[in-house]
A and B are shown apart, each in its own frame.
Chain A
C-alpha cells in the first residue's frame, strides 16, 4: 500500500525522510519562524453503495498532500499543497513566512528531529487485511436484502466506506512521527411508506484500526433494528411542542453532550470568546451526577488515535468530574493562545486543514440507575430512542433532531412521535441532567468543525434531563 517510487528530493512514504524534513524545518527556522510543523499524508479510500439489490456505486480515491504551519507569536500561517517535492515544500514554507510578514533576524534553535516514533509498523499489513470490494459488495447486498421485510419498505440502502491514511508529522520541537490510520464505517437506511405515511430509519457503525471489523459486523441485527425503527415511526403523530422532561437513550444519545457542551470545552471556543465556560475551571457547571470524559484511547473506537495530528499521544481527559469543570480539550495553538495544556486532541480532516482542538471519544460516564428508573421517574415527557444530527450556534445554543421518539406517560413508554427537535443552551441544560443510567455505550459519528470533518464517538448511558424545549408542531 501507499508505496511510491523512490525519487530524490521528494517525500517517500515507507522510507526515512528525516534528512529532507530537517532541511525544510531548518529552512523555515532560518527565515525567522518560531515554530515549523509539517504534516504529510497519503490516502487510499474506498466507498461502496448498495441500493435495493444492486451495487450502484463503487468509488475509490487516493491522494497525497502536505500542510505546513508556521507560528510567529500567537499567529500562524498555514499552507497546503499537493507538491511533496523538496522544492514544493520549501516554496510552501516561504509562502507561510511571507504571509506572516516575518522579517526580523531573531532565530529560534532547531536541534534536529528526535528519534523516529513509528506507530505505523504493526499497521502496514492492514491494507491487505481489509475486505476487498468484492467482499464488501457481497455483504452489503446481503444486508440490504435483510431489510426487505415487508412491502412497506420502499427504499433500502447499505453503504460502506474505508479510509486509510498514512501520515508523517515533523516539527521544530523535534517531533518526528509516522502513523497509519484505518477507519471503516457501514450504515443501513430504509424508507417506509404506506398511503400518506412515511418514515425512515438509519443506523451507522464504525471502527478504527480494526481491519476485520466489517466482517464481524452483525448485519442481521442491524437490519432488524433499522426495520423496527422505521415501522414504529411509520404511523407516528407529530409531537406536541413544549417544555418537558426527556430521557435520552444511550449510544448516539450522547450527541447532546457532544453538541451542547463538548464543543464549548474546545480551546478554539476560548480563543474566540464564545464559550460560557471560559472562566469556570473547577466550578460547578453541571449536575453532580455528571462526569464527562474525552479520550482517544479506547481500542477500536471511531475517535481513537495512536497519535494526534500534531504528533502527541492522546490522553484520557476528564472534562467534568461530578459536575465540576476540570479540563479543556486543547491542541498546540490552543495551548499557545489560551494556556491550557495540550491533550493530544489536535485533529484535522486532512492535509488541507490546520489542526485544531477537537473531540475524540466523548461520553458521559455511567451512573447507577437502570433505564427503567429514569423512565419511571417521569409522568409526562419524551423518550428519545434515536437521535439525528445536531449543531451548536455561536452563542452556545444547540439543537438536534429526534429520529425515533416515544411519549412517556405515568412512567411508561407509550406512543411513538415524530418531528421532535431538542433545543437548549449548554449552561442551562447541563445542570438539569439529573440521572445517569448504568448502561454506557459508544456510537460512531462524524463531527464537522473548524478543521474539517473528523471521526468521533459520542456516548452516554441513558440520561434524564429534567426539562428541555422540544420543538414540534
Chain B
C-alpha cells in the first residue's frame, strides 16, 4: 500500500468503527548499512520498516493513540480500536486538536533524493576508507567503530479534516572512529561523521582525514589540574550543550515544570547581546530536514535568542493554544505531544562590540582549554536544574603548544555559561546537529586528575 491507499484504508476503517475524528503519522523506510573489520565485511544489514501512529478523538473530543508496525487491514482496524480505547484515559485537562496549520502550504525543498548504490558498493567504499585510515598513521591500529549506510524513507501526515502531506528523502552516513596505540601509552580514540543525501555526496576523504587528524592529535596527552579555565567550545560541542538545555526554549517543558524558563521569560536577558540562536529545520545544510512536524505543521525558521534575549519558544498545537500563539512546527506525534528543536543555528549578532575578538582558536597564544566534543550527555546534564558535569575530548593550549587532555570533565551552569560568553568567532561551521562558530566562555570548572 502507498500512503494515499493507507489514508483511504484508515478513513474507511474509521467510518466502519464510527470514529469521526482521527489523524495519523507514518514512516516507511528501507535502510542498508555495512561494517568492516580490517578489510573484511563484518556485518551487512538491510531493513524494511513501517511505523504507523494513529490518533483518535472520542465523542468527548479526548484523544487516544496507538502505534503499530502492522499496516494490514486488520492491523489498521486494531490500531484504531486500541486508540479509541486509550482515549477513555486521555488527558482531559489539556486538549489536543489538529494543528490549525496542517493544511498550510509547506516548503518542499529540492529533495535531492538519490538512488541506492547497493550493499556491494557500500562495502567497497568502506573497505577502502578503512584501509586509508589505517595507512594514514602508523599508530592507528584499528577502526573499531565504522559504518556506511544509506536510507530511503517516506514520511506522511494526514487527518480526517482532509489534510494530507508527505515527502520522500534519502540520506547516507559515514562514521569512522579510529583507535591509536603507542608503546607505554594509553590507547586514544577519535573519529568523524559525515552525512549526505546519498553516498556520492559524502566527502569520504575528508572524513578519513578528520578521523586521522583528530585521533593523532590526542596521542600526546596529559592530565590537567583541577581549576577554572578560559574555554573555547568547538561548534559541535557548543551545539551539544545548547541542545542539551533546549528545554529553556521548549513550551512543553515549561508547562511540565522541567524548564529553567517560565511563561513570562520571553525578553529575559540570557547572554551577551552578541549572541543570536535560531532553530532552522529547513536550513539548506540540514540533510535531515523535514517540511512538516508530527502534527503536520509546516517547519520554519524561528529566532530563539535575539541579541542575548529570549525571543520565542518552540510549540506544538496544544502548547501554542495555551500560550495563545501559533504552532511552530516542532511537535512529535504522541499521546502526549512532545516538542523538540530541529536544527540549531548559532551566530554573532550585530551588537558585538563587547566581545574579545582577540580570542581566536587558531591564533590566540594565551592559556585556554579547547573542548572538541562533549560526552555522556544523558548522564551529566540536569536540564531542569541547569547544571552539567560532562567528560570531554579536548586540548590544553599553553605557551604556544597544545596537548590532549586525559580524563577530565567540565562542569557548570548553563545560565552562567551563556552569561560568560566572551567571544563568538566569525566563521560558522556546519556540523551534523546544526551550525555554530567557536564560542569562548570564561571561568568554567575543569576537573582533572593531575
Q: Which residues of A contact B (CB under 8 A)?
A: 4-5, 48-49, 51, 54-65, 74-83, 92, 95-96, 98-101, 133-134, 137, 154-155, 191, 198-200, 238, 241-243, 271-274, 352, 354, 388-391, 393-395, 397, 399-401, 418-421, 423-425, 469-473
B67 and A74 contacting across the interface, CB-CB below 8 Å: no
Residues of B within 8 A of A78 (CB): 43-46
Q: Who on chain B is nearest to A46 by CB?
A: B86
Between-chain CB contacts (< 8 Å), 22 pairs: A58-B335, A60-B65, A62-B68, A74-B42, A78-B45, A79-B45, A80-B48, A82-B69, A154-B257, A155-B256, A155-B257, A155-B384, A200-B385, A241-B445, A242-B226, A271-B37, A273-B141, A389-B379, A399-B391, A418-B387, A469-B407, A469-B448
> Which of B86, B379, B409 has a CB less than 8 Å from the CB of A59?
B86
Is the CB of B356 closer than 8 A to any CB of chain A?
no
Q: How far apart sit A247 and B57, CA to CA, in the bound complex (Å)? A: 52
Give CA–CA (A48, B94) in the complex, Å: 16
Residues A471 and B409 in contact in the complex (CB < 8 Å), given A100-B41, A352-B47: yes
> Which stretch from B184-192, B196-204, B283-291, B346-354 is at the chain A interface?
B184-192
The answer on a CB contact under 8 Å between B86 and A65 is: no
- A45 shortest CB reach to chain B, Å: 9
0/1 per residue, B388-409, Cβ < 8 Å to A?
0111000000000000000111
Give chain B nearest CB distance to A288 CB in angstroms.
25
> Does B268 touch A at the CB level, under 8 Å?
no
Known: A101-B120, A395-B179. A49 touches B336 (CB 8 A): yes
Contact B65 A59 (CB under 8 A): yes
User: If A62-B68, A242-B447, A391-B376 touch, does A57 touch B391 (CB 8 Å cutoff)?
Assistant: no
B46 and A5 contacting across the interface, CB-CB below 8 Å = no
Alpha-carbon distance A415/B432, docked complex (angstroms): 42
Give the CA-CA distance A210 to B155 in the complex, in Å: 38
Instruction: Report how far A198 CA is from B391 CA in the complex, Å.
Output: 23
C-alpha spacing A400/B85, complex, angstroms: 41
Most buried by B among A48, A64, A389, A397: A397
The residues of A that contact B213 with a CB separation of less than 8 Å are none
Q: Mark B75-86, 1 if CB is under 8 A from A, else 0.
A: 000110011011
Chain A residues in 8 Å Cβ range of B94: 56
Contact of B69 among A64, A420, A472 (CB under 8 A): A64
A interface majority secondary structure: strand
Contact A155 B258, beta carbon cutoff 8 Å: yes
Is the beta-carbon distance between B447 and A472 smaller than 8 angstroms?
Answer: yes
Given contact pairs A198-B384, A390-B376, A57 touches B43 in the complex (Cβ within 8 A): no
Chain B contacts with A in 40-74, Cβ cutoff 8 A: 40-50, 64-71, 74
Which B residues form the contact surface with A (CB < 8 A)? 37, 40-50, 64-71, 74, 78-79, 82-83, 85-86, 89-94, 119-120, 141-142, 144-145, 177, 179, 186-189, 226, 256-258, 334-336, 375-376, 378-380, 382, 384-387, 389-391, 407-409, 411-412, 445, 447-449
Assembly CA distance A469 to B336 (angstroms): 40
- Specify which of B40, B82, B188, B412 is in contact with A395 (CB 8 Å cutoff): B188
- Output the least CB separation between A283 and chain B (Å): 19
Is B447 a contact partner of A80 (Cβ separation < 8 A)? no
B44-A394 in contact (CB<8A): no
Contact A63 B68 (CB under 8 A): yes
CB distance B336 to A191 under 8 Å? Answer: no
Cβ of A397 and Cβ of B74 under 8 Å apart? Answer: no
> Are the CB atoms of B92 and A51 closer together than 8 Å?
no
Residue of A nearest to B406 (CB): A397
Chain A residue at smallest Cβ distance from B47: A80
A79 to B66 CA separation, bound complex (whole angstroms): 26
| Residue from the set B67, B144, B376, B380 with the largest chain A CB neighbour count within 10 Å | B376
Given contacts A56-B91, A61-B68, contact A352 B389 (CB under 8 A): no
> For residue B379, which residues in chain A have a CB less than 8 angstroms away from its CB?
388-391, 399-401, 421
Q: Which residues of B contact A395 (CB under 8 A)?
A: 179, 186-189
One of A51, A83, A425 near B48 (C-beta < 8 A): A83
- The 6 nearest A-B residue pairs measured at CB: A471-B409, A63-B69, A241-B447, A272-B144, A57-B336, A61-B67
Q: Give the shortest distance, in Å, between A43 (CB) and chain B (any CB).
A: 9
Question: What's the Cα separation between A354 and B45 when bound, in Å?
Answer: 9
Assess the A421–B409 pair: CB atoms within 8 A: yes
A55 to B335, CA, bound (A): 11
A82–B30 CA distance with the chains assembled, in angstroms: 11
Complex Cα distance, B447 from A390, in Å, reads 17
Contact in complex: B144, A241 (CB < 8 Å): no
